[in-house]
Structure 1
Amino acid sequence: MPTPRDQLLALIKDLAVVHGTVTLSSGRQAEYYVDLRRVTLHHAGAPLVGHVLLDRLEEVGLGAGEVDAVGGLTLGADPVADALLHAAASRGQGLDAFVVRKEAKAHGMQRRIEGPDIAGRKVVVLEDTSTTGGSPITAVEAAREAGAEVLGVAVIVDRATGAQEKIEALGVPYHYLYSLTDLGLA
């Protein structure tokens, strides 16, 4: 019987890895694309993402008892945060989720971060996959501006293209579930 981690890896390989030339959000060209929304929004993938990533966060001391909330820049981080919130709840643990907008709303509450207030709380910033680190860095900066203590960044797939180094340069530990080698892409 494969472990949940192995099951998630198989789903990523089957559903998310798309071969062919694509332009990444960084502007770089790649011969493949890892479209993790095909997994994070999948009926079998989302629960696996939540439990496997929560297990990883617990391994590094960032589980639901140590962290108050998880979230990141919309859209890649949204289903990951939701999956973690639900995984923690299924284990009887409280873990809130938050969404960082690219810019504050011009109407209503004019908030940049949606969800429960993160001021004075310990958070982990999430992303599905990161190339340059731009999205998690934006979310780290927004969370800090909102008064949160950012304890780490966690992604499902690390592309090994510099995101880890840039994020760690901010004094934020970087964690990931799978490398390109794990996906058979390196």
Structure 2
Amino acid sequence: MAIAGGDLTARNDILRTMNEEQGFRKTGTTGTAVGTNNIPSDASPSQTDDFSMLEPREQLRRLIAAEMEGKPFCELAGVTFDHRGAAIVGHILLDALEENGYSIDDFDAVGALTAAAVPLVGAMIQAAASRGEDLDGFVMDFVYPSIKGPSIKGKRVVLLDSWLSEKSYVQTSSLVTLRNGNELSLDFGVVEHEGAKVVAIASLIGGVDMTEPVIEVVNPVSGERQELPFIEIYHESELR
């Protein structure tokens, strides 16, 4: 169909229609909580509660509590890869960081300390994008001390994991060693070597209910000690 050169409105309407027809399908319905489709499955915390009516933070809390029931420690993959958990966890992490003084403008990238945190990184990238913000992600790589993902040189980063506690010990997915009050010295040293600055560490579960949660890291090269804020989405005691 030919469009007169001056009829920009009609031209834009046609382009908009073409984009809507050929682009990604619109998902969700107005007024429906995020991540509440097919509710609840056998992984649901309770068959009697209307899961969709709960606040997102309570939804996630119940999913995590059900996943960790009877387990001294788990990587929470049953939550972070669940469609309900995956839909809300990125937003909850962003909100928790902001509540603790770290808005999306205060960091440029989020890094997965272990394979368990990879879905968290993806969820945060998508949640930030839905808010019109740019956020990169990366994964710690100890095959050769470095990172996988876009360069983090000169960037401010937040390190992530699903569950950081003294029970975590050495993860099978990396060399994260939690000792002497949850030190993450090796990871910290790798990130600094890449030219980035760690501004905080965040985890879905924190194993120690501290009044002012901090993690002490020691640069393995210089020996310099530094305390980093530790943002716990849930204390372990909230979930047992």
TM-score by length of 2: 0.63
- Cα distance change of structure 1 residues 46 and 139 upon mapping to structure 2, 3 Å threshold: farther
Task: Report deviation, 1:36.
Answer: 1.1
Alpha carbons 2:209, 2:235 under 8 Å: kept: no
Matching residue within 19, 22, 25 for 2:70: 19
Letter in 1 for 2:235: S
User: Which whole-Å CA distance do the structure 2 matches of 1:40 and 1:54 have between them?
Assistant: 15
> Are residues 1:121 and 2:155 paired?
yes
Q: Match of 1:173?
A: 229
User: Which whole-Å CA distance do the structure 1 matches of 2:194 and 2:87 have between them?
Assistant: 29
Spell out, residue by residue over 1:60-80, the C-alpha distance to the aligned partner (whole angstroms, 9 max, x if none): 222221110001223122111
Task: Report deviation, 1:165.
Answer: 5.3
> Are residues 1:56 and 2:96 paired?
yes
- Cα distance change of structure 1 residues 53 and 42 upon mapping to structure 2, 3 Å threshold: same
- Cα distance change of structure 1 residues 119 and 34 upon mapping to structure 2, 3 Å threshold: same
Aligned residues: 165
Matching residue within 122, 142, 158 for 1:102: 142
Alpha carbons 1:89, 1:95 under 8 Å: kept: yes
Task: Report deviation, 1:127.
Answer: 0.7
- Cα distance change of structure 1 residues 122 and 34 upon mapping to structure 2, 3 Å threshold: same
Alpha carbons 1:73, 1:102 under 8 Å: kept: no
User: Which whole-Å CA distance do the structure 2 matches of 1:157 and 1:128 have between them?
Assistant: 6
Letter in 2 for 1:86: Q
> Are residues 1:134 and 2:177 paired?
yes
User: Which whole-Å CA distance do the structure 2 matches of 1:116 and 1:154 have between them?
Assistant: 20
Task: Describe the SS at the equivalent of 1:46.
Answer: helix
Task: Report deviation, 1:161.
Answer: 8.5
User: Which whole-Å CA distance do the structure 2 matches of 1:58 and 1:166 have between them?
Assistant: 19
Task: Report deviation, 1:154.
Answer: 0.3
Task: Describe the SS at the equivalent of 2:134.
Answer: coil
Structure showing the higher strand proportion among its residues: 1
> Are residues 1:76 and 2:124 paired?
no
Matching residue within 193, 196, 205 for 1:148: 196
- Cα distance change of structure 1 residues 42 and 176 upon mapping to structure 2, 3 Å threshold: same
User: Which whole-Å CA distance do the structure 2 matches of 1:165 and 1:177 have between them?
Assistant: 14
Task: Report deviation, 1:166.
Answer: 4.2
TM-score by length of 1: 0.80
Matches within 5 A, 1:34-45: 34-45=74-85
User: Which whole-Å CA distance do the structure 1 matches of 2:177 and 2:96 have between them?
Assistant: 23
Radius of gyration: which is bigger? 2
Letter in 1 for 2:110: V
Please, what is the CA RMSD of the aligned residues? 2.2
